[in-house]
Structure 1
Amino acid sequence: MLLAAICLLQSCSDFLEQEPGTQISITEQLKTKQGVLQALNGIYGDLETDVRGERFAVYADLQGGNLKFSPSLTNGSQGQFTIPTNIKNLYSFGDIADESNFSIFYGDSYDIINQANLILEFTDALTDATEAEKNQIKAEALTARAYVHFLLSEIYSQNYGYTDDASHLGIVYNTKSITEGIQYPSRETAANTYSLIIKDITTALNLYSDSSLLQGPVYSFFNTKNTKALLARVYLSKKDWKNAYETANDVIENSGVSLMNSADYIAQWEQPDLPVSEILLEFSIPKGSDGTASGSLSSYFGYTSDASYSNYVASQDLLSLYETADIRKQLFLEKPLSTLVNNQQIKQNYYFTKKFQGNPGYIAFRLSEQYLIRAEAALELDNTDQAKKDINTIRTRANASELTETEDLKEALFLERRKELCFEGHLFFDIARNKKDISRNDGCISLNCSLTYPSPKFVLPIPRSTIIVNPNLKQNESY
């Protein structure tokens, strides 16, 4: 927050830059519709950067055990395994507050929230925008604010059910920009955090006109259907089963989006640029005027050749969950890579995901997740027939066997989410929500490969630099 304040005082935020070499004040920038839309577009750019960064992009799957490391290509350590610097401490469940691996994510997230608050504070005064346009702008800014707060709560606050009344620490929820004065807020409870997230989302849903004001693919911006998808996920995390069921059902029935079918499931994931057809929201990667992408998730998951590949591959912990005939096994690119074993270089097989080859954007929401949210909510509401139906919809498409009468539905659903949504940022949070233990086996090179629930290490430390500035900010337990 201090860094954000400094940036505002110096007018260094990206969206305040009018032309190369010239900058204008916040008031000047945001007094016209064009200026506000430039600011809103800047939020999407910053959001994409925030979630695509290595720390967040791999966090849930690495910590949960879906990922392991590929052998090094670096001379002197070729074939060996090293933990990337950006996640070195947190990988061992030993992040430290003084130099947290996630400190950049924390600061950037609150900067995005501050930008959203600025837009909300200036939009009503626009004289060159219609009421419908102003409402659409506010809806997208509110959704962005809610979404980023939700991501922060997943990382810095224990799951909603950690205490019976969700009275444990949530996060700081900012609803005012720093231009109104630097504040020193305390953390909300988890219950209040979720109430504020839901309030922002439901307010946004009443404002949307669904007439996009920004240039670009429709699936890259917040709208009614993907905001409802966000709300369904929030209700799921809150364990508000009735609302989770109804909201996910609304998305499934009324979004106009259909599930991918079996015949082109693999081909759609293999597309180098376009998202899959069931996408509800993808934060598309920025491209230059010549069409060149400036970065993508392939930076972490991509394979080009045996001499050029990225750090993260699928673990056998994940691969072993798929049945032989499951077509999702085809989503893994098997490659024999040189590995140092007993001081000798030998070839061992590694499995790169095909989900993120080429120039993929960050998948925030897609329809399959909504089926699995509805299934989980139905199960908790004792509607086992609907839960089975939704789980089998996903399994049948994958050519996996349907559920048997003797299967543990709750465990089957947990594993179905793990298989279907792998590498999309869910596993660690699913484990916490279900109050499960973590046991990472294949490829774990940490001194600590397991974590027993409950544990203070299911959340990360608030960066100490922030706590020093704000004396009202309480640190997470054990940090």
Structure 2
Amino acid sequence: MLNFKKMRNLKHNNPLKFAFLLAAILLLQSCSDFLEQEPGTQTSINEQLGTKQGVLEAMNGMYRAIEANVRTEAFSTYADLQGGNLKFAPAVSTSTTIGQVSTPGSVVNLYSFDDLADKSNLAAFYSANYSIINQANLILEFADALKDASDTEKSQIKAEALTARAYAHFLLSEIYSQNYGFTADASHLGIIYNSKSITNGLQYPARETVANTYTFIINDIKDALNLYADTLILNGPAHSYFNKNNTKALLARVYLAKKDWKNAYDTADDIIKNSGVVLMNSGDYVAQWQKPDGPVSEILLEFSIPRNDEGAASTSLAAFFGYTSDTQYGKYTASQDLVNLYEPSDIRKQLFKNHPLPTLVNFQKEILNYYFTDKLQGNPGYVAFRLSEQYLIRAEAAIELNNSAQAIEDINIIRTRANAAVLQGNEDLKEAVFLERRKELCFEGHLFFDIARNKKDVSRNDGCIALSCSLTYPSPKFILPIPRSNINLNTNLKQNESY
């Protein structure tokens, strides 16, 4: 239990350290209820994590924290909004500002490439990820000592916790560090990599280089892959938890971001050939996405939304993207920039339903077209990994490995399923795979990171109401500021350029 006398002394003698300790304790307890008992009581970490049941409760808390974090409005829209796949819907007809198009408060700063360190739109996302990392570290530190768990169960517990730790660090790296190729040797600023819980004492670490950050991420994933026992230890749908297949999918994505083409190719190839998961087919592609519940059949990992005892979902991504009626719809719709990329015959275009809505244009009401996506209707969970991405990873890596034939084959597998014209071999393959990722993986959190990895400029046209609708690469605005509160707590934590 906590020594409150020591905390009081620390508060008076070293207020900065006290503030950091208090924040760390709150971080430990946030985003999960696994330390909470009945109102007015609390159990110690040693007691809670001293049994298999306690550790499994902690793991459930960790997964709930991950799902809640990736489902936040600012993060779940970030990559597509910044890249130009999304625009904003007008205010609903029941509001006093009927037809007005404005930037939602959750993204108002970052949307203009002008996020604020003092009040960052993703400040909660930053802190929540480190809370998740701390939870994973606690689980790792207690797993081996469990007396009521088998060696197989311990291995599975550690594998999932290591993967969660790697995943959270990777998400942080994507948001707060320039892409791996920003400098020739990836010596630019990465993130703080935490491999110990705060129970080991307060640390004031500096940021790693991006090269070191990726080394730590990859090592964690490889360690996890060596531990997976293919044993489902938590109740619920298997596609909602880390396993060997979706951990390999994470590794393939990390290798792609690192531009480690050979390992990206081999890892994606392994998943395609050996995971047992197959692509959705043309005949039910649209219907699969339109299902009100449950993921598409080629899912590798979906962080499923929580449900009550009656099975009802409290909220989902449809709150941001969905359409029910002209007076009930989400804030985000597909931009014409995206919709225009699809050929008329492309079945993926059927996932965008046009709904004309009253819109204020120069203080006059006009009826404009808005395309809401069927990808995120009903009760969708967060699509973390699915098989189509692996084909496109293998294709991109194949191009860099001078294996154009394989790249064309993989791109055409995705295009043929979509009933789009196949590549003939004389196209710019790098641009072809970039555009295929934009079309196939839209609203799944990839576009802005793909733009940065390919060192492209951002150009947002249809519906852009930001102060700045374009961003020229390279720019410090391709990443966000470390929240000022975290900088203030750790004097070794260096802020990103321009913030």
Q: Normalized against structure 2, the TM-score is what? A: 0.94
Tell whether the 8 Å contact from 1:332 to 1:352 is kept in structure 2 after alignment: yes
| 1:358 and 2:358 are equivalent in the alignment | no
Tell whether the 8 Å contact from 2:32 to 2:65 is kept in structure 1 after alignment: no
2:12 aligned residue: none
Give the number of aligned pairs: 479
| 1:42 and 2:42 are equivalent in the alignment | no
Q: CA RMSD in A?
A: 1.3
2:179 aligned residue: 159
Tell whether the 8 Å contact from 1:55 to 1:87 is kept in structure 2 after alignment: yes
| 1:189 and 2:195 are equivalent in the alignment | no
SS in 2 for 1:347: strand
Give distance in 2, aligned partners of 1:23 and 1:382.
Answer: 59
* Pair 8,241 (structure 1): closer, same or farther in 2 beyond 3 Å: closer
Which among 94, 105, 108 is matched to residue 85 of structure 1? 105
Which among 208, 220, 232 is matched to residue 240 of structure 2? 220
SS in 1 for 2:376: coil
1:348 aligned residue: 368
| 1:178 and 2:178 are equivalent in the alignment | no
2:79 aligned residue: 60
* Pair 125,82 (structure 1): closer, same or farther in 2 beyond 3 Å: same
| 1:289 and 2:309 are equivalent in the alignment | yes
Give distance in 1, aligned partners of 2:31 and 2:244.
Answer: 32
Which among 439, 447, 461 is matched to residue 419 of structure 1? 439
Give distance in 2, aligned partners of 1:343 and 1:199.
Answer: 56
User: Counterparts in 2 of 1:104-253, with a 5 A limit?
Assistant: 104-253=124-273
Calculate percent identity across the aligned residue pairs.
72
* Pair 346,405 (structure 1): closer, same or farther in 2 beyond 3 Å: same
* Pair 8,305 (structure 1): closer, same or farther in 2 beyond 3 Å: closer
SS in 1 for 2:287: helix
Give distance in 1, aligned partners of 2:30 and 2:393.
Answer: 42
Give distance in 2, aligned partners of 1:8 and 1:311.
Answer: 31
Give distance in 1, aligned partners of 2:38 and 2:375.
Answer: 37
Which among 310, 314, 321 is matched to residue 330 of structure 2? 310
Give distance in 2, aligned partners of 1:312 and 1:234.
Answer: 28
The CA deviation at 1:221 is 0.4
Tell whether the 8 Å contact from 2:117 to 2:484 is kept in structure 1 after alignment: yes
Give distance in 2, aligned partners of 1:171 and 1:9.
Answer: 19
CA displacement, residues 43-66 of structure 1 (integer Å, 9 cap, x when unaligned): 110000000000110000000000
Letter in 1 for 2:396: E
2:456 aligned residue: 436
* Pair 236,452 (structure 1): closer, same or farther in 2 beyond 3 Å: same
SS in 1 for 2:487: helix
Letter in 2 for 1:163: T
SS in 2 for 1:355: helix
Tell whether the 8 Å contact from 2:31 to 2:128 is kept in structure 1 after alignment: no
Tell whether the 8 Å contact from 2:181 to 2:453 is kept in structure 1 after alignment: yes
The CA deviation at 1:298 is 0.3
Give distance in 2, aligned partners of 1:443 and 1:404.
Answer: 34
Mind listing any 5+ residue stretches in structure 2 that lack a counterpart? 1-19
Which among 367, 371, 374 is matched to residue 387 of structure 2? 367
1:445 aligned residue: 465
Which among 304, 312, 319 is matched to residue 299 of structure 1? 319
* Pair 205,83 (structure 1): closer, same or farther in 2 beyond 3 Å: same
Tell whether the 8 Å contact from 2:28 to 2:135 is kept in structure 1 after alignment: no
Which among 476, 480, 485 is matched to residue 456 of structure 1? 476
Which among 273, 293, 297 is matched to residue 273 of structure 1? 293
SS in 2 for 1:274: coil
Tell whether the 8 Å contact from 1:2 to 1:466 is kept in structure 2 after alignment: no
Give distance in 2, aligned partners of 1:105 and 1:272.
Answer: 27
Give distance in 2, aligned partners of 1:305 and 1:21.
Answer: 44
Give distance in 1, aligned partners of 2:32 and 2:420.
Answer: 49
Tell whether the 8 Å contact from 1:11 to 1:26 is kept in structure 2 after alignment: no
Single out whichever of 291-300 and 377-386 deviates more from structure 2: 291-300
Tell whether the 8 Å contact from 2:278 to 2:387 is kept in structure 1 after alignment: yes
CA displacement, residues 128-174 of structure 1 (integer Å, 9 cap, x when unaligned): 00111001000000000000000000000000000000000000000
Letter in 2 for 1:38: E
* Pair 204,67 (structure 1): closer, same or farther in 2 beyond 3 Å: same
Give distance in 1, aligned partners of 2:147 and 2:161.
Answer: 19
SS in 1 for 2:353: strand
CA displacement, residues 194-250 of structure 1 (integer Å, 9 cap, x when unaligned): 000000000000000011100000100000000000000000000000000000000
Deviating above 4 A after TM superposition, structure 1's stretches of 4 or more consecutive aligned residues are 1-4, 8-13
2:89 aligned residue: 70
* Pair 11,252 (structure 1): closer, same or farther in 2 beyond 3 Å: closer
Give distance in 1, aligned partners of 2:415 and 2:135.
Answer: 41
